[in-house]
Amino acid sequence: MASQGILSKYPGNFNDPNGTMRRFYPNDDWIDQHTEFLFDFGKVACWPTQATPQQSDVIRNLVTGKPNFLVNRTTVSDIAFREGGIFLPGQTSNYLTATNAADFRLNATLENPDFVIIYWIKRETGFTTNNYQAFLSRGSSSATADQYEIIMRTGTGGLGFEARISNGVTGSSRSLAGDVVDTYLNKTAQLAMAVENGNLITFFNGVEVARTAFAKPYNAAIPGEGKMWIGAGAGGASLKALVKRFGLTKLIPGGKSAAQRVLDDFNWNKARLNPA
C-alpha cells in the first residue's frame, strides 16, 4: 500500500503573545519581527549595484516594509564601494542618511523599547581622532537631544568608542570601551550598544566591554531634529572609514538578551566580514 503524505494545517493565527516564535526572514538570519532596520552592503538585496554610490542612491532596508537609507555624495568625492562596504572618505557632505526625521525615533515611533544596535566598521590609516568621529547618530548635535549615538573619541586610557543615549533630562549616559579600538586599525570590527534593564551596554566583537545605568523614557522629539545618519556629525570630524553593516532590533520580555543578539550577529557574520 502506498504511503500517504501528511499535510499539516495551521488554522487561524499563531498564539505567540510575546513574539518569541522564530519566523523565516529570507534577507538575513539576524532579522526577526522586532528588527527595525538592517543594512548590509555586501548583500545585493541591500545594495543592488554592488558599485560606487551616487548621489541619492537608495540603500535598501533588509527588513521588508521599513524605511530605507539614502546616499549623500558631493560632486567631487572619494566615496567608494569595496570589500563589501561603503567607504566614506572623511569629506564634508559625504554620508549616509535616513529618509525622514521621524524614522527610527525611539520614543514615539518605536515606543520606548529596550534595544540593540550592531555596527561593523573598518577604521583605516588616515582616520582622524580630532574631536570625535560619529559612526552612527540619531538626533541633533546637542547632548540632551541625541537619541542614540556610537562615536569614537580620545578618552582615559587611549582612543575608545562610546555608546551615548539621552532621555532629554540627564543628558547622555556614556560607556567608554577604553583603548580597545586601537587594536583594530585597518581591520574590521563589530561594535554594538544596547539599552537593557536600566543599563546602557557597549560590546566589542561580541563581548561586553562596559556598562552604565540609564533610565528611560528616551528624549522626546525636538524641533529641528536631524535624521539618523552615518558619517557627518555636527561638532565632530567627518567619518573616514569603511562601513559594512548596521542594524537595530528591539528587545522583548522572554526573548533573547542583548548579549545573545550581539553574539549571534558576530558569530553568523565573522567569517564573511572578517573581523580582527
Residue recorded with cell 550581539: 262
Contacting residues for 196 by C-beta, under 8 A, at least 6 apart: 114, 116, 251, 257, 258
Cell numbers for 114: 529596550
CA atoms within 13 A on the CB side of 173: 21
The pLDDT of residue 91: 78
Cell numbers for 66: 521599513
Does 69 or 25 have the greater pLDDT score? Answer: 69
pLDDT band at 264 (very low <50, low <70, confident <90, very high): very high
C-alpha Rg value of the chain to the nearest Å: 19
Does 2 or 12 have the greater pLDDT score? Answer: 2
Is the model's pLDDT at 136 over the cut of 70? Answer: yes
Quick: pLDDT tens for 47-83.
Answer: 999 999 999 999 999 999 999 999 988 767 789 999 9
Q: Mean of the per-residue pLDDT values for the chain?
A: 79
Does 123 or 233 have the greater pLDDT score? Answer: 123
The pLDDT of residue 9: 37
Residue recorded with cell 539599552: 195
Quick: pLDDT tens for 203-222.
Answer: 989 999 888 888 877 776 56
Is the model's pLDDT at 13 over the cut of 60? Answer: no
Beta bridge partners of 40: 245
Quick: pLDDT tens for 161-170.
Answer: 778 777 666 5
Does 153 or 150 have the greater pLDDT score? Answer: 150
The pLDDT of residue 248: 94
Contacting residues for 192 by C-beta, under 8 A, at least 6 apart: 116, 117, 118, 119, 202, 203, 204, 262, 265
The pLDDT of residue 10: 36
Is the model's pLDDT at 134 over the cut of 90? Answer: no
| Domain annotation for the chain: domains and CATH numbers | 35-273 (2.60.120.200)
